[in-house]
Amino acid sequence: MRSLPVLNAEALAAAEVSQTEALAAVEAALATLGRGEAQQPHPPTLSPAAGAFFTPLIAALPKENVACVNWLSYHPHNAAAGLPHSGGLLILNDFATGAALCLLDGIWIGQRRAGYVAALGVKHLAGDFDDIAVIGPGAIATFAIDAIAALGLLRGGLRVCGRRQQSTDKFCTDTLSRHGIRARPYTDPQAAVRGARLIITSTSHSGSPFLKPDWLTRGTLVV
């Protein structure tokens, strides 16, 4: 088997693909899927333990002659052993021949993809909004807010609620530094979303659903 290029997080960052380019690519791919010109079968799941899983996210753009699988894993109990709870390896293939083209860091790509899809949801689906409620101030929420700003849609302020006060405070400080927008920390998710017309959720796979319909104002967009 021939040697494949391996693009880790450092190599992907060094490529310096702009946020504008990445958003345009994701938006174009979603439009292709909407027209029925892409393939994205429902993925199977392997469950090694309670709350843990492996799942292959599979998709193809036949007209672009590319296919990929992002082999994702989530093992919430890894933290006790000092190991990452999430993993991902993306394989890119030539769609016509099946030839493998490269391996990429699936987490690096997946976090940005999730954040950018949320921002594009805001672009196309959000009504009038002022404050944005952020539940789960992690990497995906960061990319979502950055992308919303890149689209010129960031206004009002942020209400940020997380499980750990330190990460919540850091998210607020970093947002102020990057975008000059006020961000207030919350400890109660119900208080954070009260009256908000836009809610960004980026929580872990474990635990029970936390967002209750009667907390929401009619017309609120949740992404």
Per-residue pLDDT of 50-107, as tens digits, reads: 889 999 999 999 999 999 999 999 999 998 999 999 999 999 999 999 999 999 999 9
Q: Confidence class of residue 3 from pLDDT cuts 50, 70 and 90? A: confident
Distance CA 9, CA 109 (A): 9
The amino acid sitting at 133 is A
Longest dimension (CA), the chain: 57
pLDDT for residue 208 is more than 80: no
Q: What pLDDT does 203 receive?
A: 84
Reported as a single tens digit per residue, the pLDDT across 93-149 is 999 999 999 999 999 999 999 999 999 999 999 988 989 999 999 999 999 999 999
Q: What pLDDT does 1 receive?
A: 62
pTM: 0.92
CA-to-CA dists, residue 24 to 56, 70, 117, 127, angstroms: 24, 20, 11, 21
Q: What pLDDT does 210 receive?
A: 76
Question: Where does 15-161 have alpha helices with state H?
Answer: 19-34, 106-125, 139-150
Q: Can you list the domains of the chain with their CATH numbers?
A: 6-109 (3.30.1780.10), 126-222 (3.40.50.720)
Q: What pLDDT does 143 receive?
A: 97
CB 29 within 8 A of CB 62: no
CA-to-CA dists, residue 214 to 68, 190, 194, angstroms: 40, 10, 10
Reported as a single tens digit per residue, the pLDDT across 29-58 is 999 999 999 999 999 999 999 889 999 999
